[in-house]
Structure 1
Amino acid sequence: MSTATAEPAGRPEGAEDAQGAERAEGAEGTGPIRFGVVGTGWRSEFFARLARGLPDRLELAGVVTRSAERAARVRREWGVPAFLSVAELLAAEPEFVIPSVPWEVTPEVTGELVAAGVPVLAETPPAPDAAGLRALWEQVGASGLVQVAEQYPLMPGHAARIALVREGVIGTPTSVQVSSTHMYHAVSLIRHTLGVGFEPVTVTARAFTAPLADPLSPKGWSDDLTPKDARTTLALLDFGGGRSALYDFTDNQWWNPLRSRRMVIRGSLGEIVDETVVRMADPRTPYETPLVRRRTGLDLNLEGSEVRHITFDGRVVWRNDHTGAHFSEDDLAVVELLCRTGAWARGAAPEPYPLAQGCQDHLIALAVEESARTGEAVATGDEPWSA
């Protein structure tokens, strides 16, 4: 695994449920982790590509699609089995299944899989709205079979920063500023960094529109630098007890090269600003230490292009345990999550990202959107998954 200290925050003690204990009794713990996917969108192809790149650890047992024509195309282009029903996929004995389907379909597929007793790694978000989250929790929450595919805390830079915060390098974390990704992903980073669980939060948000060129999107380069209206959402999250967060996201910030990504973590004894850590050497000596990535493939290095590790003060705080596949940093986070989910499904590791955590992330994200839309403060409260 990349780093044990980057495990999701807020996991309750004794998180391994009865089903996990039962799986542990029969867990072989050998060979590649076999998983299945329901759906054939771009995210599904993403999982297939990662399995091809790491065949010694991951094996895609099959993909479910509703069209025979699409199934034939998946077999031909992805090189994996394709089925027309969940039942056919389960006959191939995957160790867990990923519902990679539209938001509104995810709860339905998740419920079907849980009813069959199969561990699930639900895509984000696990349900489209607050009512859907509550209904899903009522249906499958007690099963202990559902995890959520939230990879952002496992991305190398974020994992390294979270590890340092948990070590107490900057004292008690008090505030986080995230301008990187959107909604539940950003909320996950905020909650993990501050170490907050299911406490009520008050959200005050505003949305602004301004012109911005948008030369790159998932479709590729547009060759168009004409500024178009882009929406920026700013939100203040008050978790109480002196803990706060600033959410800042602009449309297509993931792709647009004209908008960078940044993260500021402030604590009682210092702060982390992107790749720089500031704290005191003694009562009169503040100093800075960088987080340093070792990247191969530069200049005359012929090891291939990938990040190998991140160091801080001469020691490794994050390490790539999937070298040789030459994955991007986002790929590495997803692969790590898949491996952790496989280990959990075999009863050999704790839950990687329990459903309760994913529900809380999206609940707060929905509060951000509601506040931005209405101009009013929105407060979350206790939910069925809070316990």
Structure 2
Amino acid sequence: MTSFALVGFGFRARTLLRVAAGLPGLTCVGAVVRSPRELPVPAFASLAEVAADFVVTAVPRAANPAVIEEAVARGLPVLAETPPAPDVAGLRALWAAAGDSVQVAEQYLLMPAHAARLAAVRSGIIGTPTQVQVSSTQQYHAVSLMRGFLGAGFGPATVRASRTTAPLVDPLDRGGWTGQAEPVAATTTIATIDFGDGKSGLYDFTDNQTRNQLRFRRLLVRGTHGELRDDEIVHLAGPEAIAVSPIRRRQSGHDLDLNGFDTETFTLGRDVLHRNPFPGRRWNDDEIATATILTRMADWVRGAGPAPYPLAEAAQDQLIALAIERAADRDETVTTTGEAWG
């Protein structure tokens, strides 16, 4: 049995606890909280009271670095919620203090649909990927998708960005249906990122787009021999032959399929790109991704698997995300520099 403790107990911590409860071999021993309150797990006043195989930080971004550093100083491996630090100075200080002792719960590349798309791209069907366009999620999450699909490393990146504001109805947020019927001002940030070596990204995000279902989520991966657009791939099938191949999601529970509602597989023709590693749980895509990173963290601390998402990768994601915000705020081109974690 591998044990972990939560630090903080907000929205994300509740999700982590709910998912962990469905994972055999993993148990939450409690949560470190600043003020006494009724929790579904034992409460600790400080990290000094924690005895666990690792800790998961789920605190506001401004508080995250100090919590991570204290845990590392106490010899506790850390799975940190995103982002690991709120600014560049914080990223540098955190890397100097914690380094390879920290993993980050960056889950987007582990979501079933993205994992299937990544497998398709890595199969070589579109050749060498050269550009990724993301319009679905914000900041470091979007950068993680770009870097993951491109295989972009830690070199300098040049960012140009702009913002516009327009009215938009916002019917859903983290709490569910808002009851809102009238448009409110929503800001869209559009940025281009030049990763070097012919690799680039396009970032397009509107306020609350992650949850606002009035905006499509879009992912485009362009390669030397074709491109992936969401769940469809155009590619060379042979000499003088261009084909369009769909990625199919097998979702049980529809119509007369009585197996219950669940994600089963993603396929491309005869090839299985992704198989749900947690069948029967009836989890949504975010829960599947969260379960995957918790499982991989447990394997890593036992020495039974590779690092799930090292701090170096998450720090680079956040570095570029901060450059996007700065470029948009100041209407200037921003180029990141090589950092110690690269």
TM-score clears 0.5: yes
Quote the residue 2:178 is aligned against: 222
Asked if residue 41 in structure 1 is aligned to residue 2 in structure 2, the reply is no
1:164 CA drift (Å) = 1.7
State the match for 2:27 in structure 1.
59
Deviation at 1:57, TM superposition (A): 3.8
State the Cα distance separating 1:179 from its structure 2 match.
0.3
3-state SS in 2 of match to 1:187: helix
Deviation at 1:153, TM superposition (A): 0.6
Q: Within 5 A, what are the aligned runs for 1:1-387? A: 31=1, 33-54=2-23, 56-68=24-36, 70=37, 73-74=38-39, 78=40, 80-90=41-51, 94-141=52-99, 144-386=100-342
Give yes or no for contact 2:20–2:294 (8 Å, CA) kept in 1: no
Letter in 2 for 1:385: W
Q: Give the whole-Å Cα distance in 1 for the aligned partners of 2:308 and 2:154.
A: 17
Distance 2:256 2:231 in 1: 25
Give me the whole-angstrom Cα distance separating, in 1, the residues matched to 2:253 and 2:122: 32
Question: Which secondary structure does the structure 1 equivalent of 2:50 belong to?
Answer: helix
Q: Which one-letter code corresponds to 2:217 in the other structure? A: R
User: Shift in Å at residue 296 of structure 1?
Assistant: 1.1
What do residues 207-260 of structure 1 show as CA deviations (whole Å, max 9, x unaligned)?
110011111111221222201100000000011222111000000101111101
**What displacement does 1:53 show?**
2.7
Matching residue's letter, 1:58: L
State the SS of the aligned residue for 1:190: helix
Give unpaired runs (5+ residues) of structure 2: none
Q: Which amino acid aligns with 1:96?
A: F
In structure 1, C-alpha distance between the alignment counterparts of 2:337 and 2:122, rounded to whole Å: 26
Query: Which residue is 1:20 aligned to?
Result: none
1:159 and 1:318 in contact (8 A); partners too = yes
- Return the alpha-carbon distance in structure 2 between the equivalents of residues 359 and 81 of structure 1: 32
Query: Shift in Å at residue 343 of structure 1?
Result: 0.3
Residue-pair matches, total: 342
Q: Which runs of 5+ in 1 are unaligned?
A: 1-30
Deviations 1:132-164 (A, max 9, x none): 0001111111xx210011000111111111112
Instruction: Tell me which stretches of 4 or more aligned residues in structure 1 moved more than 6 Å.
Output: none
Answer whether contact 1:111 1:140 (CA < 8 A) is retained. yes
| AA matched with 1:212 | L
Alpha-carbon separation, structure 2, partners of 1:307 and 1:157: 10
C-alpha offsets along residues 15-55 of structure 1, whole Å, 9 cap, x if unaligned? Answer: xxxxxxxxxxxxxxxx3x3211100111111111112233x
RMSD after superposition:
1.0
In structure 2, what residue type is equivalent to 1:114? Answer: V
Alpha-carbon separation, structure 2, partners of 1:171 and 1:288:
15
Letter in 1 for 2:4: F
| Contact preservation (8 Å) 1:202, 1:237 | yes
Between the aligned partners of 2:285 and 2:26, the Cα distance in structure 1 is: 18
The CA distance in 2 between the partners of 1:283 and 1:57, in whole Å, is 51
Give percent identity, aligned residues only: 51
Amino acid at match of 2:334: V
Q: Secondary structure at the match of 1:158?
A: helix
- What amino acid does structure 2 have at the position aligned with 1:40? F
1:265-299 deviation digits (Å, cap 9, x = unpaired): 00001110000011111222111111111111111
Check whether the contact 1:57–1:339 (CA below 8 A) recurs between aligned residues.
Answer: no
If each structure's helix is expressed as a fraction of its own residues, which one has the higher value? 1
Preserved contact between residue 177 and residue 246 of structure 1 (Cα < 8 Å): yes
TM-score, normalized by length of structure 1?
A: 0.87
- How far apart in 1 are the matches of 2:119 and 2:193? 22
**Separation in 2, partners of 1:283, 1:378:** 43
Q: CA deviation at 1:353?
A: 0.6
Q: What amino acid is the match of 2:120? A: L
